[in-house]
Structure 1
């Protein structure tokens, strides 16, 4: 292990807690932090992926218990997102990674600002045409899948804001559904990087041991929060994180 175990545990615990609170597995943030403390690039990229599955499952359990997970959205997102993830991974050698990351971070920052300024819960989709909702859902799932494959993460960074803005899901349903889908989308990347020998399982074990229980705690805290306040906090955090990463990658 390149860094002391307690540093890996602190990173894992922090990523797990905020992943549960904000509906993402946190593999992208985990990668950056692990690399900063001295973990080699490929290991930092791959080792959080198995933990992202556990983080998403632990946090989504809290939402399942309260009935927040949108099963239709989960089913379609996984059905479309999994093959799109594989396609995105295959496109990696042909796409400019740094530019793609910056575009993604810019879009997420803009969505974060929108949610922070206008945190209203969407009205119920009464009488909405099911076909149009399905089209939007397929487009979201395909886009997130491709980006997940290209960027080697579980997609939660994109799923929740797109569920909120494009599908107009309520904040807690968006967070819950994003976590359930992220757990599935992280599996292909985990298997691939495992086969390539990029995963340091000692790092994964320490990281996941701290992350999983705190992810559940973060999800329970989100469930108790006022929806508009949670949306505003989520949007602010999203905008700050994406802007910070955008400036870091300049």
Structure 2
């Protein structure tokens, strides 16, 4: 069944978009990631204009993050104080990102910029994930063969964060640090949310663990909490300023994503965590390679009119 997307100005097969959302939801449930960093490239591959793909992905992430945040809220694994600081930083960053987004849109470079940023981020993150997962697999094999397991290293925040002024206690996160650190982290993620159409969890979660030194029990819930508000602010900015939000596209993605996530959670229980991380790293690198191919290889048609 074909549906017309009023903002993207093109017709799409509704079943294909729902299946795309379901596939990303499956990966989200299986690997424990928001999936926005895969949704936008896949929409671009399908032919959705990058600006619309970014804005609509952010809208879909807002809806899909609510159920996860509520689940962690019920377990008491959301640090509201830390999350509030990050939300403030994220909203500020979203405003900055929207200014950059509109400037690039006016000079006609937003599509190329989105693709380049995705190639860089996915390439770097995929390579780091691949290295970590291969190391975890080697360690697991060594332990299975009888080698002693190395002692677990305590995670502490980096020295420059400890030196920031105005320290306060974040009890659920187990931290005594300056709120400037999570505020600046929120600003950076807010900028990326607007430009890339991602929730930022794939950057926020490692940063909360390895930079801030947060307790692992509060990391995912707090990240999902800030994602809801930052992506909601991003959706509002895109809808009122760049006018790139296609609600029909977002609803189709959300419908598939909710169902796919449930299947992914069940599938994840059948595989080892190290193999899951390796599979995700390979998927991320494959998407980055495909985007790089599209940027460097001469297209068959040099000019395309969307919606024609």
**TM score, norm. by length of structure 2:** 0.64
Superposed CA RMSD = 3.5
Name 2:257's counterpart in structure 1: 211
Q: Name the structure 1 match of 2:287.
A: 245
Distance 1:60 1:221 in 2: 21
Higher helix share: 1
Q: Kindly tell me the number of residue pairs found equivalent between the two proteins.
A: 244
| Structure 2 contact 54–195 (Cα < 8 Å) conserved | no
Which of 73, 93, 101 is equivalent to 2:118? 101
CA 24–129 in structure 1, closer or farther in 2 if over 3 Å, else same: closer
Deviations 1:15-43, CA, capped at 9 Å, x for gaps: 22333444443233212222323334333
The answer as to whether partners of 1:22 and 1:175 remain within 8 angstroms in 2 is: no
Is residue 88 of structure 1 aligned with residue 77 of structure 2?
no
- Measure, in 1, the Cα distance between the counterparts of 2:266 and 2:249: 26
Q: Distance in 1 between matches of 2:270 and 2:214?
A: 16
Q: Secondary structure at the match of 1:199?
A: coil
Higher alpha-carbon deviation: 211-220 or 39-48: 211-220
Deviates more, 1:75-84 or 1:201-210: 201-210
Task: Compare CA radii of gyration and give the structure with the larger one.
Answer: 2
Who is 1:35 aligned against? 44
Q: Residue in 2 aligned with 1:202?
A: 248
Could you tell me which runs of 5 or more consecutive residues in structure 2 were left unpaired when the two chains were aligned.
Answer: 4-10, 105-109, 138-150, 157-170, 293-308
Asked if 1:183 is matched to 2:200, the reply is: no
Aligned match for 1:159, one of 204, 209, 224: 204
Secondary structure of the corresponding residue to residue 25 of structure 1: coil
Distance 1:182 1:9 in 2: 22
Structure 2 vs 1, CA of residues 35 and 207 (structure 1 numbering), >3 Å: closer, same or farther?
same
1:144 aligns with 2:189: yes
Q: CA distance change for structure 1 residues 121 and 43 in 2, over 3 Å: closer, same or farther?
A: farther
1:97-116 deviation line (CA, Å, top 9, x unaligned): 35543432344234424542
Distance 1:178 1:220 in 2: 22
User: Does the C-alpha gap of structure 1 residues 99 and 110 become closer, same or farther in structure 2, counting only changes over 3 Å?
Assistant: same
TM-score by length of 1: 0.77
Q: CA deviation at 1:152?
A: 3.4
Distance in 2 (CA, whole Å) between partners of 1:167 and 1:173 is 12
Identify the structure with the greater strand proportion: 2
* Structure 2 SS opposite 1:130: strand
* CA distance, structure 1, for counterparts of residue 220 and residue 243 of structure 2: 32
